[in-house]
Amino acid sequence: MMSLCHNPVASISSKITASNRLTWNVGENVTHSCNDHLELIGKMTVTCEAVDSFPNPPICV
């Protein structure tokens, strides 16, 4: 059985690529971007590392 991550965390001022997906396999990435005029703090790409774990999502300020 494949381990999956669900619904990566995004702040109210950010977007996640492929946000229409419901699950990601361990090892797959999601890419965050900020709304206009905001700066991304943290890594743009976050990897699903364990069941339901997208560690250290970035923030937009």
Q: Are 16 and 8 in contact (CB under 8 A)?
A: yes
Residue ranges and CATH numbers for the domains of the chain are 4-60 (2.10.70.10)
The mean per-residue pLDDT over the stretch 19-46 comes to: 89
For residue 58, pLDDT over 70 is answered with yes
For residue 51, pLDDT over 80 is answered with no
Choice between 2 and 4, residue whose per-residue pLDDT is larger: 4
For residue 1, pLDDT over 80 is answered with no
> What does pLDDT average to over the chain?
85
pLDDT band at 2, cuts 50/70/90?
Answer: low
Position 35, amino acid: N
- List the beta strands (DSSP E) in 1-61: 4-6, 14-16, 23-25, 29-34, 40-41, 45-47, 59-60
Task: Give pTM, 2 decimals.
Answer: 0.78
